[in-house]
Amino acid sequence: MNRTLLLLSAAGLLALGALSLGKPAPPPPPPVTDTSHTVARPDDQPATAVLPLLVAQPSDGALTLTGKLSGTYVQTGDSEAFAWMELKARPVEAQRRVPVNMALVVDRSGSMSGQKLADAKRAATELVNRLTPEDRLALIHYGTDVKVIPSRLVTSEVRAELLASIDGIQDDGSTNISGGLTEAASALRGHLSQFRVSRAILLSDGQPTAGLVTEPELFQLTRRLRDEGITVSALGVGEDFQASLMRGMAEQGGGFSGFLNDSSRLAEVFSRELDQATSTVARRVELRLTLPPSVRDVEVMGLPSTREGAVVKVPLYDLSGEQSVRVVVKLTLRASATSEALPLLDATVHYLDVARDMMAESTLPLKAQVTEDAALVRAHLDRDVRVHAVRALGTQQMRAAVEEMKRGNRKGAVGLLGNARKLFGSSAAALSGELAELDQTEAAYGRASNDGDVRRESLNLYKKTMKNFGENNAY
Q: What residue spans of 214-299 are helical by DSSP H? A: 215-228, 243-253, 266-278
Q: Which domains does the chain have, with CATH numbers?
A: 3-44+384-449+460-468 (no CATH), 54-93+282-381 (2.60.40.3670), 100-278 (3.40.50.410)
Confidence of residue 13 (pLDDT cuts 50, 70, 90): very low
Enclosing H/E stretch for 455: helix 451-468
pLDDT at 312 over 80: yes
| Residue 35 confidence (pLDDT) | 62
The rounded distance, in Å, linking the Cα atoms of 316 and 273 is 17
pLDDT at 114 over 60: yes
238: left (phi over 0), alpha (psi -120 to 50) or beta: left
Mean pLDDT over 420-425 rounds to: 93
Q: Are 58 and 364 in contact (CB under 8 A)?
A: no
Q: How far is CA 364 from each of CA 15, 205, 286, rounded to the nearest angstrom?
A: 40, 42, 14
| Residue 264 confidence (pLDDT) | 85
| 101 vs 407, higher pLDDT | 101
- Percentage of the chain modeled with pLDDT above 90: 72
Tens of pLDDT, residue by residue over 325-365, are 999 999 999 999 998 999 999 999 999 999 999 999 999 99
Enclosing H/E stretch for 375: helix 374-379
The rounded distance, in Å, linking the Cα atoms of 151 and 191 is 9
The rounded distance, in Å, linking the Cα atoms of 103 and 95 is 24
Tens of pLDDT, residue by residue over 211-266, are 899 999 999 999 999 999 999 999 998 877 888 899 999 999 999 998 887 788 89
| Residue 27 confidence (pLDDT) | 55
Model confidence, pTM: 0.86
Rounded to a whole number, what is the distance in angstroms from the first to the last CA of the chain? Answer: 39
Tens of pLDDT, residue by residue over 14-57, are 343 433 334 445 555 555 445 666 777 666 777 788 999 999 99
Which residues of 6-114 form beta strands (DSSP E)? 54-55, 63-69, 73-75, 77-89, 100-107
The rounded distance, in Å, linking the Cα atoms of 434 and 396 is 13
Confidence of residue 443 (pLDDT cuts 50, 70, 90): very high
The rounded distance, in Å, linking the Cα atoms of 425 and 254 is 34
pLDDT at 97 over 50: yes
The rounded distance, in Å, linking the Cα atoms of 104 and 180 is 9
The rounded distance, in Å, linking the Cα atoms of 382 and 45 is 13
Average pLDDT, the chain: 89
Smallest CA-to-CA distance from 363 within 5, 64, 72, 2 is with: 64
Residue 388 CB-density burial (10 A; 0-12 exposed, 13-18 middle, 19+ buried): buried
| Residue 12 confidence (pLDDT) | 44
Q: Are 466 and 389 in contact (CB under 8 A)?
A: no
